Amino acid sequence: MTAVTARAPAKINVHLAVGPLRADGFHELRTVYLAVSLFDTVTARPGDGLALTVTGEGTGAAEGADAVPTDRRNLVWRAAELLAEHAGVPADAQLEVAKSIPAAAGLAGGSADAAAALVALDALWGTRADRADLLALAARLGSDVPFSLLGGVALGTGRGEQLTPVLARRSWHWVLGIAGEGLSTPSVYAELDRLRDDGRVPDGADLLPAEPVMAALRSGPAIALAAALANDLQPAAVGLRPALRRALRVATDAGALGALVSGSGPTVAALAEDEQAAVGLAAAMAGEGVFRTVRAVAGPVPGARLVS
Ligand code: ATP
The pLDDT tens digits for 181-190 are 999 999 999 9
Residue 144 falls in the annotated catalytic set: yes
Q: What percentage of the chain reaches a pLDDT higher than 70?
A: 98
Global pTM value:
0.95
* The ligand 1 atom nearest the CA atom of 262: 2
Alpha-carbon span 26 to 155, nearest angstrom: 18
> Where does the pLDDT of residue 57 fall: very low under 50, low under 70, confident under 90, or very high at 90 and above?
confident
Instruction: Please compute the mean of the pLDDT values over residues 257-266 and round it to a whole number.
Output: 97
CA-wise closest residue to 278 among 147, 180, 176: 176
Provide the mean pLDDT of the chain. Answer: 95
Q: Length of the chain, please? A: 308
Q: 11, 66, 99, 232: which is the annotated catalytic residue?
A: 11
- What pLDDT is stored for residue 67 in this prediction? 80
Is 11 annotated as catalytic? yes
Which residue owns the Cα nearest ligand 1 atom 8?
A: 108
pLDDT mean over 28-44: 98
In which band, very low, low, confident or very high, does the pLDDT at 60 lie, cut at 50, 70 and 90?
A: low
Find out whether 234 and 19 touch, Cβ atoms under 8 Å: no
Q: Confidence class of residue 61 from pLDDT cuts 50, 70 and 90?
A: low
Distance CA 3, CA 291 (A): 36
Phi, psi of 267 (to 5 degrees): -65, 140
Give residues (CB < 6 A) around ligand 1. 65-69, 73-76, 97, 103-111, 113, 144, 185, 263-264
Confidence of residue 1 (pLDDT cuts 50, 70, 90): confident
Q: Whose CA is nearest to atom 1 of ligand 1?
A: 108
For atom 25 of ligand 1, which residue has the closest CA?
A: 110
pLDDT at 207 over 70: yes
**The pLDDT value given to residue 66:** 73
